[in-house]
Structures are given as structure tokens and as C-alpha cells.
Amino acid sequence: MVSVVLPAYNEADNIELAVSEISKTLSGTGEEYELVFISDGSSDGTYEKIQAASAADPHVKGAEFSRNFGKEAAIFAGLSLASGDAVIVMDCDLQHPVSVLPEMIEKWKAGAEVVEGIKNSRGREGIFHKLSAGLFYGIMSRLIKIDMSSSSDFKLLDRKAVDALLELPESNTFFRALTFWIGFRSEKVFYDVEERRNGSSKWTTKGLIKYAISNATSFSTLPLKLITTMGWIFIIFAVVLGIQTLFRYFGGTSADGFTTVILLLLIIGGFMMLSLGIAGHYIARIYEEVKGRPRFIIRDTTESLTGNLKGQWK
């Protein structure tokens, strides 16, 4: 059986459309399937739509969070609740084209354990969004040594890969990169991002920046190592400058450089605080992990899903 996991935050207008389009495509492949919608604390009646769809069609299942926990949480809740031999994760605004699902399933049947959806084009988006996404993926790709620039959350995972993901103990997850990290035999399918069918994107610039920082630091300790590098550069600089200053002092030609002193103080002060901030950020992450709070809280599920949670989320 193939499960399709669909995170949905205020997508009431897209549920019926998603159900009909995905069902049509999947029944065409002859596979058994289920659709698992995770309503991420929606306030526009998304969950009611899911319940209605579920009552009309037993393939449709769904759960509702107690509040908005974010897309990552919704994806992992879906992975945990899905019971298929393969699980496909896709957006329920249908920006991930339904038409590539058969190709994904074929690649899985041919032996791929992870099928990555790779964007041919990023679709229509603002220039600022494009630039910041480019910067983010540039840095991320360098940090985790995987080219992520055109990867997305649109993926098919074999049961083995799903279980491996669900066993990861951390609560700060970054799905897009974790599927590379767990390894397995991976294949790609290419797709064009489609226009959003209804409603608008849920991302704000501030939200994206927070998401970028949290993902970069949850995946790499490189920023911490950069602080050490910066420290070494300053120490070498200090030794050279120190020797030169002493020479001048004893030679009686020492410069009265008040400006230099102020500049040095400000520069070093700035770097110190920045370093403290970076270290502090990691401490905050440790604090969050140590608290061990659940990543999401489920308020209600459709009857067909009760008691299905797997992995570290059970």
C-alpha cells in the first residue's frame, strides 16, 4: 500500500480538490492507497473538510493538531500515522504535481528506497524570495555537503526509510535534509512547481529566516567551528601587532593611536558578542531538546487512524 501524507494549514478550499486529483491518479496505478491529511491547527474548517472527505471515502484519513505546530511537525505526524509500504509526502495546495506520482511509485517498485522530488523550476515567486532561498540553500548545501538547491519536501520514502526517520531521537527535525542523511538507495524525479490552486502561501519573510537559521544550526556545528577560526585569526593578529607595538614603545616612537584603540575595541567587542550569540543559540537548542516536549499534540483523528502513532512519536 502507498500512503500519501499531506500537511494542511488553513487549506479548506484545497482538500476536496486534492482528494479527487490524487485518488484519480493513484487508482489509475492500481495500487492500494490511503491519504493522510494532517491539519496543522487550522482555523478555517480544514479539519471538518477532512472529516467529511473521510466519511465519504475510506481511503481518506486525517488528524488535527491542538494548535499550529508547523509543517515539519505535520510531516512527521503524517509519517508516524501512515501505514503504507511506501509513504509520499506532498503539499496539499497541489503545487507538487500529482502527475509525477506514478513515476515515483515506479521507481520505488524498481528498487529505490527514497525517491526525491527535484524542482526543474521554482515556479513564480518574488525576487527577494528567490534570492534568499538561493542564499539559504547555498549555505545549507555547503554545511551538509549535499546539493539541496532544488530539493523539496516532495518525496517518496520506503517503509525502511520512514522507520529510520521515525527512530531519530531529536525533536528539531529538517525533513528535506534528513532524507539525505539517512542514506538508502535514492532516485530522483523532476517536476515543475505549479501555481497554488487556492489560498495563499503561509510563509512570511520573518518565518522563513527563522526556519533557515533553525535548520542550519540543527544540522551543522560549522558556525561553532567558525568562531574558533575567528579566534585564531585574532590571536595571530594580536601577536604581530603586539610585537610591533612593543618595538615602537621601546624605540620611543610609539604612536598615540586613540582611534586605533577605539576601532579595535568595537570590532573585537562586536565579534565577541556575535560569537556568544552563536554559542547561545546552540545552548538554546540543547535546552529545547533536553526538555523533551512532544513535537506536536494531536487533538483528534478520524476513526480510521486511532492509535496508529509509530516510532519516537508513539
Q: Which of 106, 189, 113 is nearest to 150 (CA)?
A: 189
Residue 92 binding target from Mg ion, ligand UDP, none, CB below 5 to 8 Å by type: ligand UDP
User: What b-and-e string marks burial along 206-238, b requiring 16 or more CB atoms within 10 Å of the CB?
Assistant: eeeeebbebbbbbbbeebeeeeeeeeeeeeeee
Q: How many whole angstroms separate alpha carbon 15 and alpha carbon 60?
A: 10
By CB under 6 A, residue 70 contacts ligand UDP: yes
Binding flag, residue 7, ligand UDP (CB under 6 A): yes
The three cell numbers locating residue 72: 515539519
* 11 near ligand UDP, rule: CB under 6 A: yes
Give the shortest CB-38-to-ligand UDP separation in angstroms.
7
Kindly state whether residue 202 participates in binding ligand UDP, applying the rule CB under 6 A. yes
The amino acid present at 313, given as its one-letter code, is W
**Through-space distance between the first and last CA atoms of the chain, rounded to whole angstroms:** 21
Closest to 65 (Cα-Cα) out of 305, 301, 260: 301
Q: What are phi and psi of 199, to 5 degrees?
A: 75, -170
Choose between 44 and 106: whose C-beta lies nearer to ligand UDP: 44
Q: How far is the CB of 53 from Mg ion (least distance, A)?
A: 20
Task: Report the partner that residue 59 touches, choosing among ligand UDP, Mg ion, none (CB closer than 5 to 8 A by kind).
Answer: none
Q: Which of 14, 54, 80, 95 binds Mg ion (CB under 5 A)?
A: 95
Nearer to ligand UDP, 34 or 93 (CB): 93
Asked if residue 71 binds ligand UDP (CB under 6 A), the reply is yes
DSSP class of residue 145 equals T
168 sits in the region (left: phi over 0; alpha: psi -120 to 50; else beta) called beta
Pick from 11, 40, 64, 93 the residue near Mg ion by CB under 5 A. 93
92 binds ligand UDP (CB under 6 A): yes
Q: Which stretch binds Mg ion (CB under 5 A): 3-11, 81-89, 93-101, 204-212?
A: 93-101
Which stretches of the chain bind Mg ion, using CB under 5 A? 91, 93, 95
